[in-house]
Amino acid sequence: MRESLIVQTSAGPLQWFEWLRRGLGRFPMAIVQLAMRIAVGSVFLNAGLLKYRSPELTLLLFRDEYKVPFFDPAIMAKIATFNELTFSVLLIAGLATRVATLPFLGMIAVIQTFVYPQAWTEHLLWASILVFLLTRGPGALSLDHLLARRFRGGRSAVAPL
């Protein structure tokens, strides 16, 4: 082990970079997917908890600041609170992950379009993570993965919900 490290460090910069790239490529994707689920899920969970704890303030925000056209602010406040509390828990747990990403992508699209168009970098970050989870799944460290293995006789699922 020590000899290979010495050989690698004495190699040229391109060989060292290739050795590093291959090593990083072996990092478990399941850990990355878990971190993504926790990161985005916690953002929406915290927003939902704030809305739940202060329903009057939430209604005022939807009525006076957010002003989403075509929808009643009271209904939008309830839908947003429900979505943020429900789907964030599913996302963090990795249960029905792909389905749980869809309401958040819809919310981001509405927020970006009608509420905070200047916050596109933050929305792009959240949407990128959600699209990754939607298209690649929640990973092996998820309830989706455990359930898929259980119902498929121990085989790993290719595309769990």
| pLDDT tens-digit readout, 81-97 | 999 999 999 999 999 99
Taking the CA atoms of 23, 29, 34 and 38 in sequence, report the sign of the dihedral they define: positive
CB contact at 8 A, 140 and 34: no
In the three-class reduction of DSSP (H, G, I as helix; E, B as strand; rest coil), residue 153 is classed as coil
pTM over 0.85: no
CB contact at 8 A, 115 and 68: yes
Helices (H) and strands (E) in the chain, counts: 8, 0
> How far apart (Å, rounded) are the C-alpha atoms in residues 33 and 26?
14
Banded pLDDT at 7 (limits 50, 70, 90): very low
